Amino acid sequence: MAIGIDLHGVSRVFGAVTALAPLDLAIRAGEFFTLLGSSGSGKSTLIRIIGGFDRPTTGSVAFDGSDVTHLPANRRNCNTVFQDLALFPHMTVAQNVAYGLRTRGESRTQAESKVRDALQLVDLAGFEGRNIAHLSGGQRQRVALARSLVLEPGLLLLDEPLTGLDERLRQQMRDEFGRLHRKIGATFILVTHNQDEAMSLSDRMAIMHRGGVEQVGTPDEILNRPANEFVARFIGLESIITPESIERAGTDLRVQIAGQSFTLADYARDDLPAKVAIRPDRITLSPDGAGLPLVIEEIRFRGLHYDCRLRGPDGVTLGAEIASDAIPEGLEPGAQVRADLHRGALIPVLA
Amino acid sequence: MKTRSFLTVPFAATLSRRGFGRMTMGAGAFLGASSLLPRIAQAAGTEIAFWGTGTLDIGNDWDRAAADAGLNVSFTDNGNDPGPVVARLVAGNANQVYDLSGLQGGAERELYRQNASVAWDTSKIANWDTVWQWAKDIPYLTDDGAQIGIPCVVNADSIIYRRDKLGDVDSYGVIFDPAMKGRVAMEDAWINSATFAAIYLKGAENAAIEEPGNLTEDELGLVMEFLIKHKRDGQFRTFWNGWEQGVQLVADEEVDAMTGWEPIVYEAQRRGLDVGYAEPVEGYLGWGNNLILHRGAVERGLSDAAHAFANWIYDGFYANKLVLLSGYVVPSDNTLDWANANPDETDPDTVAEIVEHVRQKFAGKMFWQNTRPDNFQLYEEWWQRLRNT
Amino acid sequence: MFRIGRGFALASPALLLTLILGFAPLAVVVVWSFWAWDPATYWIRPDLSLAAYAQIGEVGRWWVIVTSLFKAALAALACLAVGYPAALAVHFVASRRMALVLIGAFTVPFFTSYLIRAFSWRLVLGRTGLINDWLMQAGIISEPLDWLLFSDFAVMIGLIASYLPFVIFPLLLALRRVEPSFLAAAQDMGAGFLRTLVTIIIPLTKPGIFAGFLFVFVMSAGSSTEVQMLGGAGASMISIMINDVMRVVNFPLAFAISTVVLVALIGAVLLGNARFGLTRLFEDF
Give pLDDT tens digits for A261-298: 888 888 888 888 889 999 998 888 888 878 888 888 88
| C-alpha dist (Å) from residue B370 to A282, B104, B107, B213, B383 | 113, 8, 8, 5, 16
Which other chains touch chain B, taking contact as 3+ CB pairs less than 8 Å apart?
C
Q: What is the pLDDT of residue B154?
A: 95
A79 touches chain C (CB under 8 A): yes
Determine the residue of chain C that is closest to A75 in CA distance.
C190
> Shortest CA distance to C204 belongs to which of A134, A136, A91, A84?
A91
Question: What's the gap in Å between the CA of A74 and the closest CA on chain C?
Answer: 4
**C177 CB near a chain A CB, below 8 Å?**
yes
Q: Which of A197-211, B79-93, B200-214, C181-195 has the lowest mean pLDDT?
A: B79-93
State which residue of chain A sits closest to C202, comparing Cα positions: A90
pLDDT in the model for residue C98: 84
Model confidence over A49-71: pLDDT tens digits? 999 999 999 999 999 999 999 99
Contacts of C247 in chain B (CB under 8 A): 81-84, 380
pLDDT of residue B187: 94
Question: Could you tell me which CATH class the domain B19-154+287-364 is placed in?
Answer: alpha beta
pLDDT of residue C279: 65
Looking at beta carbons, which residues of chain B come within 8 Å of C242? Answer: 3, 6, 9
Q: With beta carbons under 8 A apart, name residues in chain A contacting C205.
A: none
**What's the rounded Cα separation, in Å, for the pair B52 and B102?**
4
Please indicate whether, in this complex, the C-beta atoms of C60 and B388 are within 8 angstroms of each other. Answer: yes
pLDDT digits (tens, 9 = 90+) for B268-300: 999 999 999 999 999 999 999 999 999 999 999
Q: Domain holding C266: CATH number?
A: 1.10.3720.10
Helix, strand, coil % over all residues of chain C, rounded to 5? 75, 0, 20
Chain C residues touching residue B188 (CB < 8 angstroms): 228, 234
Confidence of residue C234 (pLDDT cuts 50, 70, 90): confident
**pLDDT by residue (tens digit) across C167-186?**
999 999 999 889 989 999 99
Q: Is the pLDDT of residue A324 over 90?
A: no
Inform me whether the C-beta atom of residue A73 falls under 8 Å from chain C C-beta atoms: yes
* CB crowding A190-216: b at 16 or more within 10 Å, else e: bbbbbbebbbebbbbbbbbbebbbbbb
Residue C169 maps to a domain = yes
Q: Is C187 part of the contact surface with chain A (CB cutoff 8 Å)?
A: yes
Query: By the 8 A CB rule, do A318 and A312 touch?
Result: yes
Q: Is the pLDDT of residue C14 over 90?
A: no
Chains A and B touch (3+ CB pairs under 8 A): no
Range of weakest confidence among A14-28, A42-56, B80-94: B80-94
Contact with chain B for residue C234, Cβ under 8 A? yes
Residue B271 near chain C (CB below 8 Å): no
**C12 located within any domain:** no
Whether C123 is in a domain gets the answer: yes
**In this complex, do B14 and C239 lie within 8 Å of one another by their Cβ atoms?**
no
In chain A, the residue whose alpha carbon lies closest to the alpha carbon of C196 is A103
Alpha carbon A92 to its chain centroid, in Å, reads 33
Q: Which amino acid appears at position C215 of this protein? A: F
What is the domain extent for residue C241? 55-282
Report pLDDT for B33. Answer: 40
Location of each CATH 3.40.190.10 domain in chain B: 19-154+287-364, 156-285+368-388
> For B182-210, what is the mean pLDDT?
95
Report the number of distinct structural domains present in chain C. 1
Weakest-pLDDT range from B10-24, C153-167, C266-280? B10-24
| Any A CB within 8 A of C176 CB | no
Q: Which pLDDT band, with edges at 50, 70 and 90, does C282 fall under?
A: low
Reduce the DSSP state of residue C159 to 3 states and report it.
helix
Closest-CA residue of chain A to C177: A89
Task: Give per-residue pLDDT as tens, B115-148.
Answer: 999 999 999 999 999 999 999 999 889 999 999 9
| pLDDT number for residue B174 | 97
pLDDT at residue A151, rounded to an integer: 93
Chains interfacing with C (3 or more CB pairs < 8 Å): A, B
CA-to-CA distance for B204 and B373, rounded, in angstroms? 23
* Mean per-residue pLDDT over chain A, rounded: 90
pLDDT tens by residue, A161-206? 887 778 888 888 888 899 999 998 999 999 999 888 999 999 999 9
CA separation for the pair A110, A148 (Å, rounded): 16
Distance separating alpha carbons of residues C276 and A175, to the nearest angstrom: 42
CB-CB neighbors (< 8 A) of C181 in chain A: 82-86
pLDDT at C103: 82
The nearest alpha carbon in chain B to C256 belongs to: B10
Closest Cα of chain A to C141: distance in Å?
Answer: 45
Q: What is the pLDDT of residue B8?
A: 30
Q: What is the pLDDT of residue B23?
A: 32
The answer to whether the CB atoms of A74 and C179 lie below 8 A apart is no
**Per-residue confidence band for C109, with pLDDT thresholds at 50, 70 and 90:** confident
Closest CA to B188 of C150, C158, C228, C60: C228
pLDDT in tens, C157-166: 999 988 998 9
Encode pLDDT of A250-262 as tens digits: 888 999 888 888 8
Partner C contacted by A131 (CB < 8 A): no
Asked if the C-beta of A303 comes within 8 angstroms of chain C's C-beta atoms, the answer is no
Confidence of residue B4 (pLDDT cuts 50, 70, 90): very low
Band (pLDDT 50/70/90 cuts) for residue B11 is: very low
CB within 8 Å: B4 and C245? no
Q: Is residue C39 part of a domain?
A: no
Q: Is the dihedral of CA B208, B209, B215, B216 positive or negative?
A: negative
Asked if residues A34 and A217 have their Cβ atoms less than 8 Å apart, the reply is: no
Tell me whether residue C138 is in a domain: yes
Q: Alpha carbon of C254 to those of B18, B160, C57, C87, C249: distances in Å? A: 18, 34, 13, 38, 9
**pLDDT at residue number C6:** 65
**C260 close to B (CB below 8 A):** no
CA distance A318 to A235: 16
Given CB atoms, is C78 within the 8 Å cutoff of chain B?
no
Looking at chain A, which subunits does it touch, using at least 3 CB pairs closer than 8 Å as the criterion? C
- Tell me whether residues B379 and C41 touch, CB distance under 8 A: no
Nearest chain A alpha carbon to C200: A88
Q: Beta partners for B75?
A: B50
| Residue of chain C with shortest Cα separation from B107 | C248
C109 touching chain B per CB within 8 A: no
- Please give the mean pLDDT across all residues of chain B: 87
Burial of C108 (C-beta count, 10 Å sphere; 0-12/13-18/19+): exposed
Please determine, for residue A316, whether its predicted confidence score (pLDDT) is greater than 50: yes
Predicted local confidence at residue A268, as pLDDT: 84
**pLDDT at C281 exceeding the cut of 70:** no
B184-187 and B236-240 beta bridge pairing: parallel
Min mean pLDDT across B22-26, B376-380, C13-17, C269-273 is at B22-26
Closest chain B residue to C43, measured at CA: B91
Arithmetic mean of pLDDT, A115-139? 92
pLDDT digit string (tens) for C59-81? 889 999 999 999 999 999 999 99
CB contact under 8 A, A99 and C285: no
Chain A touched by C182 (CB under 8 Å): yes
Are the beta carbons of B57 and B75 closer than 8 angstroms? yes
Q: Is C204 on the interface with A (CB under 8 A)?
A: yes
Q: What percent of chain B has pLDDT over 90?
A: 80
Q: Does C45 touch chain B (CB under 8 A)?
A: no
In this prediction, residue C283 carries a pLDDT of 56
Contact in structure between A158 and A149 (CB atoms under 8 Å) = no
pLDDT at position C85, please? 93
pTM for this predicted structure: 0.80
Q: Which residue did the predictor score with more confidence, C109 or C25?
A: C25
CATH code assigned to B156-285+368-388: 3.40.190.10
- Specify the higher pLDDT residue, A317 or B313: B313
By C-alpha distance, the chain C residue nearest B232 is: C233
Question: Considering only CB atoms, which chain C residues are within 8 Å of B91?
Answer: 41-43
The answer to whether residue C71 is domain-embedded is yes
